[in-house]
Amino acid sequence: MQNGPTNGAQSSNGHRVVITGMGWVTPLGTQIDQTWDRLLNADSAIGQVSRFDADTCSTNFAAEVKGFDLKNHIGDRADAHADAGISTQFALAATQDAWTMAGMDQTPPDLMRTGIYLGAGEGVLDYDPFMAANIAGYNAESRSLDNETWARVAYDGLSPTMEVEQEPQLTSTHIAYEFGTMGPTLNCMTACAASTQAIGEAFEIIRRGDADAMIAGGCHSMIHPLGMTGFMRLTAMSTRRDDPSHASRPFDKTRDGFVMGEGAGILILESLESAKRRGANILCEVVGFGSTADAYRITDIHPDGKGGAGAMAAALEQAGIDPHATDENGRPLVHYISAHGTGTQENDKTESAGVRSVFGDLATEVPFSSIKSMMGHLIQAAGAVELMTCIQAVRTGIIPPTGNLNEVDPVCGLDHVPLEPRDENHRGGVDVCLSNSFGFGGQNDTICVRRFRD
């Protein structure tokens, strides 16, 4: 396991890492181009929850994936995964699409040196038998649970397969089973930062030579009773019940919380040598990854946004990009930041403060938008899907807007690309992007991607 030649990647002594495939399952669609168009149109995927009866919930809306069928992505092979949970099925579909885009079927990689790093979330509880056990087991007189009754009803009703499939690492097991990969395989759960972290760690695994290629990204669905309950109790979600399609309002003065989404985003990362050997089409290069902990409070983000700033600074340092420098036309070297931008009061304020502290006077000149305004917050899948929008920005030269941003909150006050996409092709397109993801409890991750130049 020797490190390879540097091939000119800046401030790194490992392999250059490129992205050659990507696939997503999102509330706005599963195809890359169509979903991208909907993002540029600032379409909203948010509506009434249909998965369960949420009418009496303070938040009764979400961004659901509709009309999904794994068979449309992997054909009859879907039968082998019929008992997998919904987020695992999202991930299998996204992996197949990424795998196909990367040309892995025609020119396969060395499967021994192809790994998986996901930020896959836990599966959905088997509600009916679980709730039945809780109700049957509760003794009203003693106001406590009679475990013997609980156990009888639970053993009787819970299905072994559905219980096992809730283990989050089993998503990567299904992918390995399907694609035959045998390289390093890990799953991380760093809340909303998970898939950004997974991609960053996968980048490091290839960079240091422990794998040639990695399937990386995340998947999650918390659109179920207790998933939504947890965030309602935290009062973290928007309660704009009368106008759900405008409920996700990152950076807006009237924002009142995030909107739950679901889905998967999977990317194929590989060493430049591997991509060239296979003759793959290179979408962009991964050049930096930063990971920090706030080490502040379980319930609050550090008010200066210093954890997020630390992650951005570390990613830029690894990429060899000076946030205070400009090109010959006075343009900052970072052309787009995909914000974590959840639409909670606290996140948007502290994240903006973090951007200001990293970019200083240039902060207001770096486009900084949040697609959560349109497709909600995909929780552990959010980072991967948002990194894919950065790659689309590099490919097309267009920056997606922040939807529903009618009046920028002065405490945010950056270049938030409100309502309309921005075409940057007149000044050379989009070369360098950052994608931010910050998790509950203070885990912060940033990835830096750059247009590929050999």
Partner 1 sequence: MRSHSVITGIGPISSLGVGPDAFWESLQSGSHAISPIESFDARGFRVRAAGEVRDIKIRDFVPKSYRKATKVMARDTELAVIAAKAAADDAGLKTRGSEDSDEGFEIQPARVGCQIGAGLIAAETEELARAVVTSQDDDGRFSMRKWGTENEGESGMNNLPPLWLLKYLPNMLACHVTIIHGLEGPSNTIMGAEASALLSIGESARVIERGSADMCFTGGAESRINPLGLIRWDYAGRLAPIDIDDNPADICKPYDSGSKGGLLGEAGGMLVIESESHAKNRGARAYARITGFGAAQTPRPYIPGSSALRTHDDIERGLSASMTLAMREANKRPEEIDAIFALGLGQPVLDGMELGAIREALGNPATIPPIVSLAHRTGNTMAAHAGLMTAAGALCLKNQSLPASSVVYGDPTPRNPLRTVMICSPSLGGQSGALVLESCN
68 binds partner 1 (CB under 8 A): no
- Taking residues 420 to 439 in sequence order and writing x for each that binds partner 1 by CB under 8 A, - otherwise, the string is -------------------x
Smallest distance, partner 1 to C-beta of residue 377, A: 14
Residue 68's Cβ-side half-sphere holds a number of Cα atoms within 13 Å equal to 25
Contact window for partner 1 (CB under 8 A) among 161-169, 262-270, 369-377, 386-394? 161-169
Per the residue annotation, which of 174, 340, 390, 448 is the catalytic one?
340
- For residues 354, 357, 360, 362, the Cα torsion angle rounded to the nearest 10 degrees is -10
- Residues 191, 101: contact at Cβ < 8 Å? no
453 binds partner 1 (CB under 8 A): no
Which of 41, 100, 173, 364 lies at the binding interface for partner 1 (CB under 8 A)?
Answer: 173
Q: Residue 401 and residue 38: Cα distance in Å, rounded?
A: 11
Closest CA to 212 of 286, 110, 102: 110
Closest CA to 437 of 374, 367, 390: 390
Q: Which amino acid is at 260?
A: M
Q: Is 88 exposed, middle or buried (0-12, 13-18, 19+ CB in 10 A)?
A: buried
Select 210 or 420, whichever has its Cβ closest to partner 1.
210
Which of 305, 310, 376, 403 lies at the binding interface for partner 1 (CB under 8 A)?
Answer: 310
Select 71 or 127, whichever has its Cβ closest to partner 1.
127
Per the residue annotation, which of 15, 220, 377, 416 is the catalytic one?
377
Number of residues that bind partner 1 (CB under 8 A): 99
- Main-chain phi, psi angles of 311, to 5 degrees: -65, -45
Let me know if 220 is a catalytic residue.
no
325 binds partner 1 (CB under 8 A): no
Both tokens assigned to 360:
């200083």
Contact window for partner 1 (CB under 8 A) among 16-24, 29-37, 257-265, 296-304? 296-304
Both tokens assigned to 96:
């197949």
Q: Residue 454 and residue 445: Cα distance in Å, rounded?
A: 27
Smallest distance, partner 1 to C-beta of residue 147, A: 4
Helices 345-359, 306-319: inter-axial angle, 10-degree rounding: 40
Q: Kindly identify the residues of this chain, within the stretch 116-145, that bind partner 1 according to CB under 8 A.
A: 116, 122, 127-128, 130-135, 137-138, 140, 143-145
Contact window for partner 1 (CB under 8 A) among 231-239, 247-255, 344-352, 405-413? 231-239
Which of 41, 186, 413, 423 lies at the binding interface for partner 1 (CB under 8 A)?
Answer: 186
Let me know if 224 is a catalytic residue.
no
288 binds partner 1 (CB under 8 A): no
Beta carbons within 8 Å of 338's beta carbon, 6+ residues apart: 369, 370, 371, 386, 387, 389, 390, 433, 434, 435, 436
Q: Is 192 exposed, middle or buried (0-12, 13-18, 19+ CB in 10 A)?
A: buried
Both tokens assigned to 364:
């207001």
Smallest distance, partner 1 to C-beta of residue 43, A: 28
Select 163 or 420, whichever has its Cβ closest to partner 1.
163
Contact window for partner 1 (CB under 8 A) among 93-101, 153-161, 247-255, 339-347? 153-161
Which of 230, 303, 360, 428 lies at the binding interface for partner 1 (CB under 8 A)?
Answer: 230
48 binds partner 1 (CB under 8 A): no
Q: Residue 282 and residue 382: Cα distance in Å, rounded?
A: 23
Which of 50, 71, 77, 155 lies at the binding interface for partner 1 (CB under 8 A)?
Answer: 155
- Residues 366, 359: contact at Cβ < 8 Å? yes
Smallest distance, partner 1 to C-beta of residue 397, A: 33
Contact window for partner 1 (CB under 8 A) among 20-28, 36-44, 154-162, 255-263? 154-162
- For 129, other C-beta atoms within 10 Å of its C-beta total 18
Select 41 or 60, whichever has its Cβ closest to partner 1.
60
285 binds partner 1 (CB under 8 A): no
Which of 68, 108, 177, 365 lies at the binding interface for partner 1 (CB under 8 A)?
Answer: 177
- For 277, other C-beta atoms within 10 Å of its C-beta total 14
Beta bridge partners of 290: 446
223 binds partner 1 (CB under 8 A): no
Q: Kindly identify the residues of this chain, within the stretch 335-354, that bind partner 1 according to CB under 8 A.
A: none
Q: Residue 71 and residue 82: Cα distance in Å, rounded?
A: 10
- Residues 248, 343: contact at Cβ < 8 Å? yes
Which of 36, 99, 231, 251 lies at the binding interface for partner 1 (CB under 8 A)?
Answer: 231
Let me know if 340 is a catalytic residue.
yes
Select 100 or 173, whichever has its Cβ closest to partner 1.
173
Q: Residue 147 and residue 153: Cα distance in Å, rounded?
A: 10
Catalytically annotated residues: 192, 340, 377
